[in-house]
Amino acid sequence: METKESKAFLSVGLLLFGVAVFFPGHSLADPSSKIAAHSASGLLPVVLDVLLLLGIGFCFFSSLKVKSFLKDGELAFGWILFSFSFAILFMAQLFSLSVSSGLFNIPLIIVSLIRLLSILSLGLGIYFMKKVLS
């Protein structure tokens, strides 16, 4: 007998598989044109990316602090998922910043998939919190 959580994880897995299979391959093969266009836009986007990175880090440490206050309570698992989500989003933002500054040549689909994983983790955290509170 399948639970709602296992159905949710299965649908997320199918979604990620579909994106990986049916995404156009031309953007995966040569992201250098996107990197050149993105890096030529100026200093302001890089400054905003760094500020966003700092904000995500603040949210991560704040969610860890709330989780430590809850110890092993019923709401702790939701806050663990929130912390995980912010950690993944921090990593995606680091990758995005490295691509925009020209440090690494990472396909932008990877950054997008990491951000999607972060959003799904955040959604699961909200789902478990709502389940406990209702």
The pLDDT tens digits of the residues spanning 33-78 come to 555 555 556 788 888 889 999 999 999 999 999 998 888 888 889 8
Name the pLDDT band for 7 (thresholds 50, 70, 90). Answer: low
Q: How many CB atoms lie within 10 A of CB 79?
A: 21
Q: Could you give the CA distance from residue 17 to residue 9 in angstroms, rounded to a whole number? A: 12
* CA atoms within 13 A of residue 98's CA, in its CB half-sphere: 14
109 class by beta-carbon count within 10 Å (0-12 exposed, 13-18 middle, 19+ buried): middle
Compute φ and ψ for 101, nearest 5 degrees: -90, -10
Better-predicted residue by pLDDT, 8 or 76: 76
Distances (CA, A) of 8 to 30, 31, 74, 104: 33, 32, 20, 34
pTM of the model: 0.68
Distances (CA, A) of 133 to 1, 74, 84, 120, 124: 25, 9, 21, 20, 14
